[in-house]
Amino acid sequence: MALTLACTVPGEPEIFASIQGEGISAGAPCAFVRLSRCNLACAWCDTAYTWRFTGDNRPHRDARAFERKANQIALDEADVAARIAALGQARLVVTGGEPLLQGAALARMLALLPGVRVEIETNGTVAPHPALDPLVAQFNVSPKLAHSGNPADLALVPERLAAYAADERAWFKFVVSEPDDLDAIEALRREYAIAPERVFVMPEGRDSQSLRARGQWLAEACPRFGYRFTDRLHIHLFGDTRGT
């Protein structure tokens, strides 16, 4: 059985060691594996090479299409696990794309990595596979607001948001473009009874200048709502590059 992964360069799966750049684990050393495919299409997505392949006309700010063969690779689950284990990290971040679209295969792969603390980054629209759920220590849930360009009925699935809100392993991270986004976040937080301290807000941006410009007013607004601020450390350190 196989997992479908993103590539750093053609033929090379995006499996690497770095530090977590966002959220509650920011700064922690981790192994990363980036899976391919997504059920949403964010206009500002910085990993569009995981889903916007030639022939996919879903809108994106860059309007760029990627060749599937150069940006996607299928690997045996045991091969993926061995590559991750070779990095020697105690924490693994599974990202995408939307990793939970490959829940069964992901569960089989993670079962080969006992003792590794697993974080899964998800857009919050997909339920974890029953075999996968007990293997996950932390869900980094990033619901998409209107500025993402996704229809609300696709991006904000009530039963899934309610389930993650009730799961103590879940932390919520919202991408913020404009000050009005904070009111939308607060409405969702209240609707699903999410404690403010479980909410991270992160400036939208793929370069340090954009992140700093949005980050200043966003950080200043956090005390008013009780939210936590998260930057994107990997962008400041490495730029908008794959495998970092």
- pLDDT computed for residue 222 by the predictor: 98
Using the predicted structure, report yes or no on whether residue 1 has a pLDDT greater than 90: no
Of 2.40.50, 2.30.30, 3.20.20, 3.10.20, the CATH number of 2-171 is: 3.20.20
Under 8 Å between Cβ of 218 and 187: no
Q: pLDDT tens, 167-224?
A: 999 999 999 999 999 999 999 999 999 999 999 999 999 999 999 999 999 999 999 9
Task: Check residue 240 and give its pLDDT.
Answer: 96
d(CA 6, CA 46): 13
- Rounded CA-CA distance 148/39 in Å is 13
Other C-beta atoms closer than 10 Å to the C-beta of 7 total 21
Give me the percent of the chain exceeding a pLDDT of 70.
100
CA angle 233–237–239, rounded 5-degree value = 100
Alpha carbons 47 and 139: distance in angstroms, whole number: 19
pLDDT in tens, 82-134: 999 999 999 999 999 999 999 999 999 999 999 999 999 999 999 999 999 99
CA 205 – CA 217 distance, rounded (Å): 14
157 confidence band (pLDDT: 50, 70, 90):
very high
Report which residue type is found at 99: P
Question: What distance in Å separates the CA atoms of residue 62 and residue 44, rounded to the nearest whole number?
Answer: 8
pTM (two decimals): 0.97
Across-strand partners of 19?
A: 29
Question: Among the residues of the chain, which ranges form H helices?
Answer: 68-71, 77-86, 103-110, 152-155, 158-165, 181-191, 208-225, 233-238
CB burial string 197-221: b at 16+ within 10 A, e below: ebbbbbbbbeebeebeebbeebeee
Quickly tell me which residue has 């937080």 as its tokens. 189
Identify residue 185 by its one-letter amino acid code. I
Residue type, 225: F
**CA angle at 36 for the pair 61 and 202, rounded to the nearest 5°:** 50
Domain ranges of the chain: 2-171
What is the token pair recorded at 66? Answer: 């990627």
Residue 32 forms beta bridges with which residues?
Answer: 16, 93
The Cα–Cα gap between 145 and 147 comes to 6
